[in-house]
């Protein structure tokens, strides 16, 4: 195991003053609950029997942004804009996420489906080996993708991927996972089963971001986050063994691509435990701890986040 892992968390960069506690900014990098217009024309592409929407801009080495839960192709808008001057940047809405359809009778929100979609997207767009920047579940998708398609990966930027099976590796992790299931996942599932989208979103968001987060959101922000209700319902009602397929530490250790792990110093403890487990498994990774940031990361401290990514990509 590589014990001389470099750290970038001492970097001195100009940080934006962020006072946006609402969930839309936290999960999507959006300010004041407003959905910014896409900086590039929205396109559609047929992928594995469905239609995915995406935007692209710039030229050069490709970067693909992979959003998390409660997100879409606009999640990384500021980073998309900033990096498009030096890279070919692509941001897409994963299957079931707006503006893509959530067809009736969809069987599950399977990790493998998202991995297969990403592989096909890279192939159809002719991107070749890419840098992948993922947030939360999108980082999980990118990491799983890299194990199956290492030839298509230049590097990975992973923002707190919820690889919760790794929590089983320690008593502390197991306790945190059980508490999360009890206090967030199961209440959210019960609400979604009953057709109560708002209650389901409240339970999930409070479990990830901290108790009371949803109710502190302004009414307009709560209204906007409701557009993600259908995909979140599908995600919550999918068996965790399918939605969060375990990634073996032995397999992760064989990943030879550079990896940047990004954490928020205010994130709930379970994300820190997962990140520590990933550090133990991965060879040659770099870990940045974002100050004044929780699980929202790129939305909570966008200046530090962007500078960290730029430094990593320039290595």
Residue 287's pLDDT is 96
Instruction: Tell the residue number behind the tokens 């962007």, with chain if given.
Output: 306
Domain membership of residue 237 (yes or no) is no
Domain membership of residue 160 (yes or no) is yes
Domain membership of residue 109 (yes or no) is yes
Residue 19's pLDDT is 24
Domain membership of residue 4 (yes or no) is no
**Total structural domains in the chain?**
1
pLDDT tens, the chain, 315 aa long? 443 333 333 222 222 222 223 344 444 444 333 344 345 899 999 999 999 999 999 999 999 999 999 999 999 999 999 999 999 999 999 999 999 998 878 779 999 999 999 999 999 999 999 999 999 999 999 999 999 999 999 999 999 999 999 999 999 999 999 999 998 999 999 999 999 999 999 999 988 878 899 999 999 888 889 999 999 999 999 999 999 999 999 999 999 999 999 999 999 999 999 999 999 999 878 999 999 999 989 998 999 999 999 999 998
Residue 210's pLDDT is 81
Domain membership of residue 103 (yes or no) is yes
Please report, for the domain that includes residue 29, its CATH number.
Answer: 3.40.50.1820
Domain membership of residue 189 (yes or no) is no
Domain membership of residue 223 (yes or no) is no
Q: What is the largest CA-CA distance in the chain?
A: 50
What's the CA gap between 216 and 225, in Å, rounded?
A: 13
Q: Please give the residue range of the domain that contains residue 108.
A: 23-164+246-313
pTM: 0.87
Instruction: Tell the residue number behind the tokens 């995406």, with chain if given.
Output: 54
Domain membership of residue 106 (yes or no) is yes
Residue 107's pLDDT is 78
């Amino acid at each position: 195991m590589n014990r001389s892992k470099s750290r970038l968390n001492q970097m001195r960069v100009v940080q934006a003053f962020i006072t946006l506690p609402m969930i839309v900014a936290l999960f999507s990098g959006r300010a004041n609950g407003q959905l910014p217009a896409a900086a590039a024309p929205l396109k559609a592409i047929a992928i594995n029997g469905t239609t995915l929407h995406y935007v692209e801009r710039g030229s050069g080495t490709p970067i693909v942004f992979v959003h998390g839960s409660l997100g879409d192709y606009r999640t990384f808008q500021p980073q998309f804009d900033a990096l498009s001057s030096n890279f070919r940047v692509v941001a897409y809405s994963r299957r079931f996420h707006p503006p893509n359809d959530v067809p009736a009778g969809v069987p599950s929100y399977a990790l493998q489906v998202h991995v297969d979609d990403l592989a096909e997207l890279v192939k159809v767009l002719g991107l070749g080996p890419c840098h992948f920047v993922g947030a939360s579940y999108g980082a999980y998708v990118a990491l799983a993708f890299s194990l199956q398609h290492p030839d298509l990966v230049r590097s990975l930027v992973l923002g707190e991927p919820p690889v919760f099976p790794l929590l089983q590796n320690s008593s502390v992790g197991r306790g945190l996972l059980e508490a999360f299931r009890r206090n967030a996942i199961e209440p959210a599932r019960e609400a979604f089963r009953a057709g109560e989208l708002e209650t389901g979103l409240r339970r999930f968001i409070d479990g990830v971001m901290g108790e009371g987060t949803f109710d502190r959101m302004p009414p307009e922000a709560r209204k906007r986050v409701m557009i993600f209700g259908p995909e979140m319902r599908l995600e919550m009602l999918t068996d965790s063994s399918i939605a969060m397929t375990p990634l073996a530490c032995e397999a992760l250790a064989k990943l030879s691509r550079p990896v940047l792990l990004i954490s928020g110093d205010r994130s709930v403890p379970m994300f820190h435990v997962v990140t520590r487990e990933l550090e133990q498994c991965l060879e040659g990774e770099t870990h940045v701890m974002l100050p004044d940031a929780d699980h929202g990361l790129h939305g909570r401290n966008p200046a530090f986040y962007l500078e960290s990514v730029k430094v990593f990509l320039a290595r």
